[in-house]
Structure 1
Amino acid sequence: MPVSRRERLTRVLKPLAELPQFSIEEAKETCESSTRTVHDTIKDLVREGYLEHTVADEISRYRWCKELDFEPEKWIDQQIHGVQVTQTPEQDRPRERLLRDGAVQLSNADLLAILIRVGVRGESAVVGGGLIANRFAARLQDLPKCHKEDLRDVSRAVTKASYAQIMAGIELGRRVAEAETNNRLAKAKITSSQAAIEFCSQEFARLASDAVQEEFHIVSLDTKHKPIRTHRITVGTLDASLVHPREVFRPAIRDSASAILLVHNHPSGDPTPSREDHQVTDQLTEAGKLLGITVLDHIVVASERSLSIREQ
Structure 2
Amino acid sequence: MRDTMDVVIDHATPSIDRAIPMSETRRNRLERVLKPLVTLAEFSVEHAKAVCDSSPSYVTSTIKELVREGFLEPAIADDENVYRWKESDNFEPDRWIDQQIHGGQITQTPEQDRPRERLLRDGAVGLSNADLLAILIRVGVRKESAVVGGRLLANRFADRLQDLPKCYKDDLRDISPTVTKVSYAQIMAGIELGRRVASAERDRVRAATKITSTQAAIEYCSQEFARLASDAVQEEFHIVSLDTKHKPIRTHRITVGTLDASLVHPREVFRPAIRDSASAILLVHNHPSGDPAPSREDHQVTNQLTEAGKLLGITVLDHIVVAREQCVSIREQA
Q: TM-score of the superposition, structure 2-length normalised?
A: 0.68
Give, in angstroms, the shift of residue 166 of structure 1: 0.7
Indicate whether 1:222 and 2:244 are aligned. no
Bigger relative CO (Cα 8 Å, ≥ 6 apart): 1
Note if contact 1:109-1:132 (Cα within 8 Å) is conserved in structure 2. Answer: yes
- 2:319 alignment partner, one of 278, 298, 304: 298
Note if contact 1:262-1:298 (Cα within 8 Å) is conserved in structure 2. Answer: yes
Q: Which residue of structure 2 lines up, in the alignment, with residue 285 of structure 1?
A: 302
Inter-CA distance 254–181: structure 2 relative to 1 (3 Å threshold): farther
Inter-CA distance 202–71: structure 2 relative to 1 (3 Å threshold): closer
Indicate whether 1:131 and 2:148 are aligned. no
Structure 2: distance between partners of 1:231 and 1:134 = 33
Structure 1: distance between partners of 2:212 and 2:87 = 45
Indicate whether 1:160 and 2:181 are aligned. yes
Q: Which residue of structure 1 lines up, in the alignment, with residue 273 of structure 2?
A: 257
Structure 2: distance between partners of 1:97 and 1:108 = 13
Structure 2: distance between partners of 1:28 and 1:214 = 43
- 1:45 alignment partner, one of 66, 72, 84: 66
Inter-CA distance 149–32: structure 2 relative to 1 (3 Å threshold): farther
Structure 2: distance between partners of 1:146 and 1:251 = 37
Structure 1: distance between partners of 2:29 and 2:263 = 58
Note if contact 1:298-1:310 (Cα within 8 Å) is conserved in structure 2. Answer: yes
Secondary structure of 2:188 counterpart: helix
Note if contact 1:132-1:154 (Cα within 8 Å) is conserved in structure 2. Answer: yes
Give, in angstroms, the shift of residue 50 of structure 1: 0.5
Note if contact 2:236-2:286 (Cα within 8 Å) is conserved in structure 1. Answer: yes
Q: Which residue of structure 1 lines up, in the alignment, with residue 278 of structure 2?
A: none
- 2:42 alignment partner, one of 21, 37, 51: 21
Give, in angstroms, the shift of residue 76 of structure 1: 2.7
| Correspondences of 1:209-248 after superposition (within 5 Å) | 211=230, 218-222=237-241, 224=243, 226-229=248-251, 231=253, 243-245=259-261
Q: Which residue of structure 1 lines up, in the alignment, with residue 97 of structure 2?
A: 76
Aligned-pair Cα RMSD in Å: 4.5
Note if contact 1:297-1:310 (Cα within 8 Å) is conserved in structure 2. Answer: yes
Q: Which residue of structure 2 lines up, in the alignment, with residue 150 of structure 1?
A: 171
Structure 2: distance between partners of 1:302 and 1:200 = 11
Indicate whether 1:176 and 2:193 are aligned. no
Structure 2 segments unaligned to the other structure (5+ residues):
1-10, 13-21, 275-280
Deviates further, 15-24 or 253-262? 253-262
- The structure that has the greater radius of gyration is 2
Inter-CA distance 245–45: structure 2 relative to 1 (3 Å threshold): farther
Secondary structure of 1:310 counterpart: helix
Inter-CA distance 10–191: structure 2 relative to 1 (3 Å threshold): closer
Give, in angstroms, the shift of residue 45 of structure 1: 0.5
Give, in angstroms, the shift of residue 46 of structure 1: 1.4
Give, in angstroms, the shift of residue 162 of structure 1: 0.9
Letter in 2 for 1:285: T
Identity across matched positions, percent: 58
Structure 1 segments unaligned to the other structure (5+ residues):
236-241
Inter-CA distance 75–193: structure 2 relative to 1 (3 Å threshold): closer
Inter-CA distance 221–146: structure 2 relative to 1 (3 Å threshold): closer
Structure 2: distance between partners of 1:246 and 1:118 = 57
Cα displacement string for residues 57-76 of structure 1 (whole angstroms, at most 9, x for unaligned residues) = 98654211036422334323
Structure 1: distance between partners of 2:79 and 2:325 = 44
Deviates further, 33-42 or 214-223? 214-223
Q: TM-score of the superposition, structure 1-length normalised?
A: 0.71
Give, in angstroms, the shift of residue 34 of structure 1: 4.0
Secondary structure of 2:302 counterpart: helix
Inter-CA distance 103–19: structure 2 relative to 1 (3 Å threshold): closer
